[in-house]
Amino acid sequence: MDIIEVLYLSYDGMTDSLGKSQVLPYLVGLSTKGFRITLISFEKNNLLKKHKSQIEIITKNSDINWIPLIYTSKPPILSTLWDIYRLKKTVRRLFKQNNFKIVHCRSYITALVGLWVKKKFDTRFLFDMRGFWVDERVEGNIWNLKNPIFSAIYKYFKRKELTLLTNADYIISLTELAKDEIKSWEKFKNIDLKIAVIPCCADLKLFSKANIKQDQLKSLRERLKIPENSFILSYVGSIGTWYLMKEMFDFFKLLLEQKKESHFLIITHDNKTNIWNYVNDLAINSDNITVVSADRTEVPYYIALSDYSIFFIKQVYSKKASSPTKLGEIMGIGIPIICNSGIGDVDAIVNNSNCGFLINNFTENEYLQVIDKIVHHFKFDEKDIINGADNYFSLDKGIEKYYATYKELLY
């Protein structure tokens, strides 16, 4: 196959953890399959200064032409319009020098430009929607619909959502549940939309039980000063917007009452103040809590310390389209999960992989049922969990799905 030029547009930065885990690995893989990729991303200035050289090494080694633009955050709304203008200007300049066949757009903001590119330059338009972004803005309390400005913006983007889906040559959904939801909408009941499902995949070479060295694991435990006999419940990732920290601490407090040696290990880059507020409010002994930050390459070891890993997420409409990145990463290490139902394809994945417990209603009774099984040494099969990670979240399989989508767009 001749070299095919692809223009990839992302409003997320490559210096963000999301860009590092959920954009670059796919593009590096696709660059080995006959695609020359130009990547435009919007970077937060402080992160760009800190990590630019690291991203440049990755992109140059894969012959990816990375064009970082500085993300504008203020004033609200106008800053986004300014970013869209700058993106269009940059894209127009690039088309004078390149013959792009595909414009691949991550989420809605860049897809607005992608649709413009399709109409102006006759390229194939891939709408990698990532989730129900418009509804996320409302349910995440970012857009208050009581404010007439945000109400108007919401209605505008809901109309644009239909336009983008209608005009995309291919759509990527994170979940089967979201794919079915879209196809159930009145506008699309008699239209054969081309939708591929590619979840948030995990680098199962990094998040691998086989790569965990026991001496390093023991050293980490000693450094954290977690007693040898501790039962470790972990949480990994951000603690804002969607994640129900109060409910997770409620669960841990009950666990601690039933299993005195329990320890809650929280791995996050977010502000730690809220975490300690929960600890104080629930009168949990701080000796049973450890809060740390870790580089991505260190995270597998922190997960590997765990007996179980927990995450609770708000059960709202937009989460039908959500694929928690942490799920595949935790499963890759072979650690069982405690999570809630009603989030994307999580129910099906947990049940089919036999990899953990599902909570439905965040009640004390439900928590105690799970805790009773833990106290009585219920065991999940580590091999089942790791096989489930490979079945659902393999990065290699995700790259192959993108490759198949690209080929279908071209031929």
The domain that contains 46 carries what CATH number?
Answer: 3.40.50.2000
Nearest partner of 361 among 408, 312, 327, judged by Cα: 312
Same-domain pairing of 256 and 377: yes
Sheet holding 170-173, edge to edge: 65-70, 35-43, 4-10, 100-106, 124-128, 170-173, 195-197
pLDDT in tens, 334-381: 999 999 999 999 999 999 999 999 999 999 999 999 999 999 999 999
Query: Quick one: 386 and 399 in the same domain?
Result: no
The two tokens of residue 168 are 């995309």
Residue 229: DSSP 8-state: T
Ramachandran sector of residue 305 (left: φ over 0; alpha: ψ -120 to 50; beta: rest): alpha
Cis peptide before 75 (omega within 30 of 0): yes
Full-model pTM: 0.93
Q: Are residues 180 and 312 in the same domain?
A: no
Of all residues in the chain, the percent with pLDDT exceeding 70 is 100
Do 24 and 112 reside in the same domain of the chain?
yes
Place of tokens 């072979």: 334
- Specify the number of domains making up the chain: 2
Distances (CA, A) of 308 to 34, 170, 224, 286, 316: 41, 38, 18, 20, 25
- 181 and 315 assigned to the same domain: no
Q: Are 269 and 292 in contact (CB under 8 A)?
A: no
pLDDT at residue 345, as a whole number: 97
Q: Give yes or no: residues 195 and 275 share one domain.
A: no
Given a contact cutoff of 8 angstroms between Cβ atoms, the answer to whether 241 and 140 are in contact is yes
Phi, psi of 390 (to 5 degrees): -65, -40
Quick one: pLDDT at residue 33? 95
Q: How do residues 229-242 score in pLDDT, each as one tens digit? A: 999 999 999 988 89
- Same domain for 276 and 339, yes or no, is yes
Alpha helix (H) ranges present in 227-345? 245-258, 273-281, 299-304, 325-332
Token couple for 280: 């104080």
Same domain, 116 and 218: no
DSSP state of 127: E
* Domain carrying residue 135: 4-201+395-410
105 plus 246 within the same structural domain = no
Give the Å distances, CA to CA, from 125 to 96, 117, 120, 121, 129. 19, 8, 12, 11, 12
**Is 127 in the same domain as 268?**
no
Tell me what pLDDT residue 1 has. Answer: 57
The pLDDT score that the predictor gives to residue 192 is 87
Beta strands in 360-401 (DSSP E): none
Q: Say if residue 111 is in the same domain as residue 242.
A: no
The DSSP line for 308-359 is EEEE-B---GGGGG---HHHHHHHHTT--EEEESSSTTHHHHHHHHT-EEEE
**How, if at all, do strands 124-128 and 170-173 pair?**
parallel
**Does residue 304 carry a pLDDT above 80?**
yes
Q: Are residues 268 and 370 in the same domain?
A: yes
Distance CA 174, CA 194 (A): 14
Residues of the chain with pLDDT > 90: what percent? 93
Other CB atoms within a 10 A radius of the CB of residue 162 amount to: 13
Average pLDDT over every residue of 27-40 = 97
pLDDT for residue 271: 87
Query: Can you name the residues that pair with 52 across neighbouring β-strands?
Result: none
